[in-house]
Structure 1
Amino acid sequence: MSSSSQTSESLSEEQNFYTMNMSSEDTLAHSAAVSRIQSPTATYSQQNSIPKLDRNLTLTDSSSTYYVNASGKNENDLEIEVADANGKSRSALKKLYRLSQQAFQTMSPEVWNKRSKINDTSNAQNAMNDAHIQIELATPTYQYSTEDKKKLIALMSQCLVRYGCPSHRIESSLDQTARFLSVDAAFSYVPGQMMISFGGVAMIDSQTVLIKVHQGYDIKKLADVDDVANALCRSELHVGDCLLKLEEIVNSPPTWGSYGTIVAFTMCSFTACLVMFGGSWTDSAVAGVLGFLVGALNVMASQHSVYSNVFEVSASAAVALISRSLFQWVCFSKVAISAVIVLLPGYSMTVAVMELSARQIAAGTIRFVYSVIYAFILGYGLQIGSSLYGTINPNSDSTGHCMPGVSEWIYIPFLPFLAISIAMTFGASAKQWPSMICCSIIAFVIVFFLNKVISDYQIAASISAFAIGLYANLALKVTKTPPLVPLSCGITLLVPGGIGVRGAYHLLMDDDPDGSAFALHMVVVALGIAVGLFASTMIIYPRSKRRSIYVSM
């Protein structure tokens, strides 16, 4: 027997059920309305036998007959067509709890699925009477193979790593996606590679996939991947649609190309020297020019793998050499650190401490050691450049000419530009800038005023991190923006990357007996920031986020 004939017989039985309980006037109204939709409720494709819904269901309630369209389902009510006794129809909204029990009993089981939420388990009969009945449209169920689901999970893992998701959030996001797809999978990430075990570790026929992927930062693409994952878990997209969208994201160009990267480096160095390091106008101008140089070298390193191995050392050495040669006009430490601010490992150090706090031992340890070594690499490059000019001109002053900084009122107009430049280095789109600017302002203002009354920077950084964590999680509830988007910019203003590079430089120059403690100082400040962020998440989500995959810190 064909599918359409089965559906017709089901409808006939259903119509006979409720027309026997209707008055003569109701029967006329029902017949007049039903005659308008003689086509089957569902037609089937010969290719894959997927039901395609047109007008899906006839519900009888009192003296009216309801025709519910496929697009008419809402979370709390139904958009319906009401047929009166004269056979005329009108559109209306019907609350779910106002539909009679007969309407649910006449529901076609092939097209609709009834689900009851029982709140009172002590008395089943009272619970059924008091329950809020929800009706869900049985949308076509697309049957995708397990291989398609595995491909989606593997591609999503690559995207999360490639675009800057913290490792402890990568595994939790993939776990939730795998559970939704009914795929038994286990995940393990260490910097540089992602390992996925399908079938479970105890299964004999399990399949292990090792994916080599290097972590980068593109907040705009990461937010797009996050939207796709959440749409999948809300059943708004099917597996095939998600695969297409993820492939489009991967194949699309970076959010900011070569020119955008150079502009971001230049603007970030200029504004950071003014706002973060208390430089003068001369210091900031020189730092901006050197930031342009570092940005150009960064673009060249991304295009030539051979040069990328010596990029950090050569860039910091060139910055130190030029800064030291201008010792009569600029302050060496302010200009040099500002010029390489985008390369500072403070953000990476903070993420490493958070990963260790989240029991991600392998990923956190590797990232932590890498951050410390990276700070040494930058400090080594600065030491080479400074020593090279000291050899050329032994009479030069290693500290340079350090003038008083600009007025603190100047910070107000330049702080948003600093936030925008940091956002561009993370690959954020212009649409994401307002949230990142707000987060940066909150972080900077709190630290700025607390430092005037609290001498310990760790305490000020912890309080500021707690504040921006609250902001990012509350903004998620309002704008649905992943918390990582504003946090990436706000944390950069708090992280102790400059502490590490400056400490490594003085340690290598043998002019600071306390320079060897720079690594410990970095860890303490990063730990304070991590505690503040975790505390803010605990306040907003005491039971964790179970229904979403919005990436955060």
Structure 2
Amino acid sequence: MRTPDQQSDHYAFLIEAAIMLHRYGTPSHRLERVMGKVAQSIGVCGEFLYTPTALVISLQPAVGKPLPTNDQLDEEVTVIRRVHSGPIDVDKLIRFDQLLGKVESGDATIEFARTELVRIDESRSLYGKPVYAAACSVACATVAVFFGGSGWEVFVAGMVGLLVTLIEFLHQRWKLEVGLLEPLAGVVAALTSLLISRYWFPIDDRLVTLAGLIVLIPGLRLTVALTELAVGHLSAGVARLAGAMVSLATLFVGVALVWRVADSMRPAIAHAEPLDTIWRWGALAIAPIAFSIVFRAGIKQWPIIASVSILGVITSWSMEPRFGIEVAAFSGALVVGCGSNLYARLLDLPALVPSTPGMLILVPGSLGYRSLSALLEQQVVEGVQYGFAMILIAISLVGGLLVSNTIIPPKRIL
């Protein structure tokens, strides 16, 4: 089998583009469709199989559309690449999408596109580490408000979130084992919350720990995995689902170790009064912006992200008291999906831009954490109920997204 360097520029471009979309968080069903469409536009018949850790790509000239190169390739070429999915970078995904659109329409040559792919990949992140860390801290604090925390609990949750982000930076800098981040963050978050509760001022350390770890809890990955399974991408869906569950389990292992070893340090306190409702609305206004920064979305995208996210959450909140949490999750996801697809059609940009931050506020990752917490305390019935609710809400979210794609199909595949 020939190496990628020996293939035509068309083949090399398609391989590199697929790797870039994989690296920056594109779901399998979107990646495979958009790359198949781009390949067809440049005279290549391409098959793309995506899993969270690998890409299998099969390329050959399309029937009746020979490659416009001197080195004509008549045989089918199969390439396997091992690529780890990185954090979602909305800004780079927008730029990749715009570049692929130019290639598809013939406004950009393959040589230019390959150079531009490398330039986008090597460009610096839209936000520096201080801004990213501050956004994670604010996101954790807003989640503590949603969980009914008091003023001190919200403040400490922001501190813990900042500390967890610093651990993430050190993990990247020291290039530690990939699976070490979650248990280490769990230990630090639980121990910090417990020490503050005992020696500084009384807080619900378990609520604070959950809120401080919210950025690492894989609720969004769980929802994406179920979406992939629902649309028939079984290998990617099963792999992503297994990865999400293992990440959640290893994260909770770190927390559980602290609870078991230092449980005697936990003071007996009554839960403080939650903040007024006005704080909840304030947190809802701030959270989408914080998560926009976490996903590296540009300032121009903040208004649409905030609008779609807030409308989806308000819909979910208004539906839950009357129809239950399943209908609420479905309705919220439906609103987020329709709003994102309408944005994609009007501005010719990826629907992932507003939908990813918008869905993150709705995903049920915290329920999985609470399920493990209840099981640790031998509260089996409550643990099973939390776990079942997590799966049910995730499936409802997936259903809402799929229906939204039928009501308002996105103009761009991404």
Partner SS, residue 56 of structure 2: strand
Cα offset, 1:204, TM superposition: 8.7
Partner SS, residue 342 of structure 1: coil
Question: Which residue identity lines up with residue 318 of structure 1 in the other structure?
Answer: V
Cα offset, 1:415, TM superposition: 2.1
Partner SS, residue 9 of structure 2: helix
Aligned counterpart, 1:331 = 204
Q: 1:163 aligns with which of 21, 24, 49?
A: 24
Aligned counterpart, 2:396 = 528
Distance in 1, Cα, partners of 2:393 & 2:167: 30
Distance in 2, Cα, partners of 1:286 & 1:401: 17
- Given the superposition, is the C-alpha separation of residues 257 and 211 from structure 1 closer, same or farther in structure 2, using an over 3 Å criterion? farther
Larger radius of gyration: 1
Q: 2:81 matched to 1:207?
A: no
Q: 2:337 aligns with which of 446, 469, 472?
A: 469
Distance in 2, Cα, partners of 1:453 & 1:256: 41
- Which 5+ residue runs of structure 2 have no aligned equivalent? 1-5, 63-72
Partner SS, residue 99 of structure 2: helix
Aligned counterpart, 1:280 = 150
Q: 2:163 matched to 1:302?
A: no
Distance in 2, Cα, partners of 1:309 & 1:475: 37
Question: Which residue identity lines up with residue 103 of structure 2 in the other structure?
Answer: L
Q: 2:375 matched to 1:507?
A: yes
Aligned counterpart, 2:67 = none
Relative contact order, higher structure (CA 8 A, sep 6+) = 2
Cα offset, 1:514, TM superposition: 2.8
Question: Which residue identity lines up with residue 369 of structure 2 in the other structure?
Answer: V
Partner SS, residue 248 of structure 2: helix
Cα offset, 1:242, TM superposition: 1.4
Aligned counterpart, 1:495 = 363
Q: 2:229 aligns with which of 356, 361, 372?
A: 356
Aligned counterpart, 1:347 = 220
Cα offset, 1:176, TM superposition: 0.2
Partner SS, residue 513 of structure 1: helix
Distance in 2, Cα, partners of 1:312 & 1:146: 40
Aligned counterpart, 2:238 = 365
Aligned counterpart, 2:68 = none
Q: 2:352 aligns with which of 480, 484, 489?
A: 484
How many residues in Structure 1 have an aligned counterpart in Structure 2? 396
Distance in 1, Cα, partners of 2:388 & 2:76: 43
CA contact (8 A) 2:220 2:360 kept: yes
CA contact (8 A) 2:320 2:327 kept: no
Instruction: Note the 1:47-58 alignment, pairs <5 A.
Output: none
Instruction: Note the 1:75-474 alignment, pairs <5 A.
Output: 147-199=8-60, 205-216=75-86, 217-274=88-145, 276-306=146-176, 308-325=178-195, 326=197, 329-391=202-264, 393=265, 396-397=267-268, 400-454=269-323, 456-474=324-342
CA contact (8 A) 1:254 1:427 kept: yes
Distance in 1, Cα, partners of 2:20 & 2:304: 23
Cα offset, 1:388, TM superposition: 2.2
Higher helix proportion, which one? 2
Q: Could you report, residue by residue, the CA deviation over 1:22-72 in whole angstroms, capped at 9, with x for unpaired residues?
A: xxxxxxxxxxxxxxxxxxxxxxxxxxxxxxxxxxxxxxxxxxxxxxxxxxx
TM-score by length of 2: 0.90
Partner SS, residue 223 of structure 1: helix
Question: Which residue identity lines up with residue 253 of structure 2 in the other structure?
Answer: Y
Distance in 1, Cα, partners of 2:270 & 2:298: 38
Question: Alignment RMSD, CA only?
Answer: 2.2
Higher strand proportion, which one? 1
Distance in 2, Cα, partners of 1:523 & 1:204: 47
TM-score by length of 1: 0.68
Cα offset, 1:295, TM superposition: 0.6
Partner SS, residue 279 of structure 1: coil
